[in-house]
Structure 1
């Protein structure tokens, strides 16, 4: 642990703050008294007291941001990395019959009718007067997160060992009900797929077969990595649909039914729909092999209590990517790191009920629910610069779990998290930033908007004022002819913010004019992956946006993205942290973000304009 980390760790004690503040005030008072004396012999002592007082005030000004904020980080101590934590849960995790009191503070469950689609269209279509500002390729203020342990932690306990051996009759009934509902769902999907297989056309069979490599034959499209790192060997097992491929009436892949999902946005993550989505939208056997290797790395990096620990991995290295010092940022972002890792695992179809990483997902979600603050915040013990990012990333993972499984504990935790998100939104600008009352920035808004969208899909009502605020802030940061975007209103445009704005607008269901899409795509095509320093934050949002469009720009971007990510993945499945924002997050951050990029083919279904967070809850 470096000197900065030691100092900021001491600064978490409020008694030290009070002592330094009192000493500074006392010295200042002594200075005033000495200088007001008629005799001059006390002037030297007064000067010394003044210097000491100024120094103590400077210490306060410099280090106060590391003290946990009421609306940002937490003053609670971090969970002991050596403690399992799952056995000690006091929140009845994943209990379908859960009934708890509302501890979300001053925000009740919204009861206001959602914003009508026509009214949202009017808001989004209002003119804006942002001038075209000077182009800036700086990638502005993404999250300061996370990294994996340099040594693999002990192998996690089996899921069976986590649960008490003497289960109560009520818990046994819950478990049996979950198993029965899952079996019924899988059986219904198999029956639907088998009935559809009878009418499958030869073209569709060939399409699925194209995504299923023959393990006995080399992949002719595979290319060796372009760096000195050993390449990751393709997975020995072929990509094979779990059930026969259903017929595709359009160019989109067929969607399975996912409990709790109004629009089945995550349906392409599993089964035959996943294989079809891979084949149709640009993935292949190599990208899936890379995802599998990355998930193995993330699983090995997980703590026994379910978290991914930034301290053990050395996250928080400040390389000043924007020329600003933020020492320690990311060093306490356990919830954010956990949220990103869970998103990567769930993006590949894993939940706490099923999948190769069901145990890892269960323990990660349990950690987040256990450490959620009474006001709904999921920022953990993060510093002020990372608290809002940590909350939104952790909240998004809980929302996705709620949508994919309809689990009542995940839904309740998501509801509390969204209540906190709503409280942190600026009432005038509609944005989010580091603390409550900040006017907002686009980097924060992208994550929070997806939390709201995920919550709506889980059946949580989103107030019309919240939705209108998102649209209002998106309008305020638009530039050029409307397709470009900046970090905050009036600042220079950047590709990262342009990508984040376009992805957010498309994923929440806005009808983006084609002229604005063209302008954004021209700008993004000027900085393809592999042409500058690797920036996974930029790549993540650009990939989300362009995947939704499925046009020529997507094909160019996807080719460059795959070439660069497959060439730079390391033998253990991770990606290096020498990227634009990798210093704050480390290799768990870079690995999770790179994995999310390679899961883009099936992580979100391609949406349409009627699928928006402003429709009915």
Structure 2
């Protein structure tokens, strides 16, 4: 799977620039045979330009009250997700600086990315999950000999950081009687939102070739099973509390799919619930929901995703700001990254997006 991504990146160099004659960004033909829609290419490029300009000197990104390696990881993934060459492309420096920032944020003892603090009062495991995912997606496609910029050097290799991050997540889970994760690495309770972020990070690391204990994946899936109703609703925390939360249903559906548990009735139930309420316009956490719903639908029902994706493109085109950013409760960096990543299935470059 990783070799396919490398081949795709090399092929994009041959395809050349499709967006403009002056830029070197690659916008490849989608693997399923459809050309990436022009609106997606144009919105995506504007968004990347915004993120490139808003990156901090330290290599990280912040916006509003949200910051940390998880936020930086989201931004790094937006560049990788459209097939940007992470080694010699026009945004390669942004990618390298972001990765250096993520790795250097890691606690060398616990392996937790971001230490014990996080955005908006949320402690480290949200940061850890999204940052682990970014490292997994970069691992194997980034030339690590180039991972030094502006005098900043990386504390350890991407592979070492990823293995350490996996150990940190597994150690945290072992302390948790639910088999999931909460805000802090030592938390005794769990919720499906944080647990989804960490589980996808672990699954991406496994896909990248890093050893992840089967027991950790099995316990995480079992936790989501315990939180899924027969109707496909996914609770947040505790016992019960089922509702039609699109983000949580999408997270559950994605966890079942990427962990290769599509034969489970819970996967089928969450997918049915999701396809019955395909909406891109509502809720306080719509960008978060869109990010997960795009992946869940693509993994579960490509035809449903194609229909939903067209609505998403129209909605995002109408809401993108002139500077390329998107606005919302999470602040411009997170909103822009999540919005772009929700469209990134049109490119299908990230290994986690492979079916």
Q: Distance in 2 between matches of 1:516 and 1:504?
A: 9
Q: Is the 8 A contact 1:411 1:458 kept in 2?
A: no
TM-score of the two chains, using structure 1 as the length reference: 0.48
Q: Deviations 1:285-325 (Å, cap 9, x if unpaired)?
A: 11011111100000000011211134xxxx12xxxxxxxxx
> Which residue, 281, 302, 306 being the options, matches 2:59?
306
Counterpart of 2:68 in structure 1 is 334
> Which residue, 126, 138, 143 being the options, matches 1:401?
138
Task: Report the 3-state secondary structure (helix = DSSP H, G, I; strand = E; otherwise coil) of the residue aligned with 1:526.
Answer: coil
Counterpart of 1:349 in structure 2 is 83
> Which residue, 506, 525, 528 being the options, matches 2:257?
506
TM-score of the two chains, using structure 2 as the length reference: 0.81
Flag structure 1 segments of 5+ consecutive residues without an equivalent: 1-184, 195-207, 214-234, 243-269, 317-329, 609-617
Q: Deviations 1:48-96 (Å, cap 9, x if unpaired)?
A: xxxxxxxxxxxxxxxxxxxxxxxxxxxxxxxxxxxxxxxxxxxxxxxxx
Map of 1:221-370 to 2, 5 A cutoff? Answer: 235-237=19-21, 274-277=28-31, 279-280=33-34, 283-310=36-63, 315-316=64-65, 330=66, 333-350=67-84, 352-370=86-104
Q: Deviations 1:406-457 (Å, cap 9, x if unpaired)?
A: 7481111111111111111144321000221423111011111121122223
1:597 equivalent to 2:351? Answer no
1:526 equivalent to 2:271? Answer no
Q: Distance in 2 between matches of 1:485 and 1:404?
A: 35
Q: Distance in 2 between matches of 1:593 and 1:554?
A: 17
Counterpart of 1:429 in structure 2 is 178
Larger CA Rg, structure 1 vs 2: 1
In the TM superposition, residue 358 of structure 1 has moved relative to its aligned partner by 0.4
Which structure exhibits the higher relative contact order, with contacts defined as CA atoms closer than 8 Å and separated by 6 or more residues?
Answer: 1
CA 1:532–1:308: 2 relative to 1, 3 Å = closer
In the TM superposition, residue 458 of structure 1 has moved relative to its aligned partner by 2.9
Aligned CA RMSD, in angstroms, stands at: 3.3
Q: Is the 8 A contact 1:406 1:458 kept in 2?
A: no
Counterpart of 1:376 in structure 2 is 111
Task: Report the 3-state secondary structure (helix = DSSP H, G, I; strand = E; otherwise coil) of the residue aligned with 2:103.
Answer: helix
In the TM superposition, residue 361 of structure 1 has moved relative to its aligned partner by 0.6
Which has more helix, going by share of residues? 2
CA 1:366–1:403: 2 relative to 1, 3 Å = same
Q: Is the 8 A contact 2:86 2:141 kept in 1?
A: no
CA 1:189–1:519: 2 relative to 1, 3 Å = closer
Q: Distance in 2 between matches of 1:188 and 1:484?
A: 38
In the TM superposition, residue 279 of structure 1 has moved relative to its aligned partner by 4.9
Q: In the comparison of the two structures, how many residue pairs are matched?
A: 329
Flag structure 2 segments of 5+ consecutive residues without an equivalent: 1-5, 145-155
In the TM superposition, residue 574 of structure 1 has moved relative to its aligned partner by 0.5
In the TM superposition, residue 507 of structure 1 has moved relative to its aligned partner by 1.9
Q: Distance in 2 between matches of 1:594 and 1:275?
A: 21
Counterpart of 2:164 in structure 1 is 416
In the TM superposition, residue 524 of structure 1 has moved relative to its aligned partner by 4.8
Counterpart of 2:153 in structure 1 is none
Q: Deviations 1:171-226 (Å, cap 9, x if unpaired)?
A: xxxxxxxxxxxxxx879966xx99xxxxxxxxxxxxx9xxx98xxxxxxxxxxxxx
CA 1:376–1:530: 2 relative to 1, 3 Å = same
> Which residue, 320, 326, 331 being the options, matches 1:586?
331
1:450 equivalent to 2:200? Answer yes
Counterpart of 1:440 in structure 2 is 190
Task: Report the 3-state secondary structure (helix = DSSP H, G, I; strand = E; otherwise coil) of the residue aligned with 1:306.
Answer: coil
